[in-house]
Amino acid sequence: MKYFSILLLLLAACAQPAKEETAKPAFRALGRSAAVEPSRNDEAIGFEVRRRLDLVGPADTAGITIEVSDGVVTLRGVAPTVAAAWRAEAAAHAVKDVKAVVNQVVAR
């Protein structure tokens, strides 16, 4: 009888529904999820680069055109100084999802 009651307790414990586990990310890095986030499209990257160029100096960057292809930003045009061309390149590098910057800006 003693073994029968132990067997019933074990069966009752096993019969409880299993707790559902939440989905865990496949990779973890330094306690954070390393899931790949979707990157922005080229149009959104170009818009953000233009916004940052306007913050750097609208007069200095007005003659610069921006082309974006697969995250690679190409800057073309004329800047008043070499420093303005470098600031434009630095501003483009600072935008999220920019893979590379090709600076073809010439100084007057």
Q: Mapped to the 3 state alphabet, what secondary structure does the chain carry?
A: CHHHHHHHHHHHHHCCCCCCCCCCCCCEECCEECCCCCCCCHHHHHHHHHHHHHHHCHHHHCCEEEEEECCEEEEEEEECCHHHHHHHHHHHHCCCCCCEEEEEEEEC
Query: pLDDT of 59-103, one tens digit each?
Result: 999 999 999 999 999 999 999 999 999 999 999 999 999 999 999
Task: Decide if 25 is inside a domain.
Answer: no
pLDDT at 70 (0 to 100) = 92
Q: Which amino acid appears at position 91 of this protein?
A: A
Task: Decide if 26 is inside a domain.
Answer: no
Task: Decide if 18 is inside a domain.
Answer: no
Specify the pTM: 0.64
Query: pLDDT of 18-56, one tens digit each?
Result: 555 555 555 555 555 555 556 679 999 999 999 999 998
CA 45/CA 6 separation, integer angstroms: 66
End-to-end CA distance of the chain: 100
Task: Decide if 1 is inside a domain.
Answer: no
Task: Decide if 48 is inside a domain.
Answer: yes
The pLDDT-based confidence of 108 (bands split at 50, 70, 90) is confident
Task: Decide if 49 is inside a domain.
Answer: yes
pLDDT at 40 (0 to 100) = 78
Task: Decide if 101 is inside a domain.
Answer: yes
Q: What is the CATH number of the domain that holds 89?
A: 3.30.1340
Domain count, the chain: 1
Give the domain extent around 101.
42-107
pLDDT at 22 (0 to 100) = 59
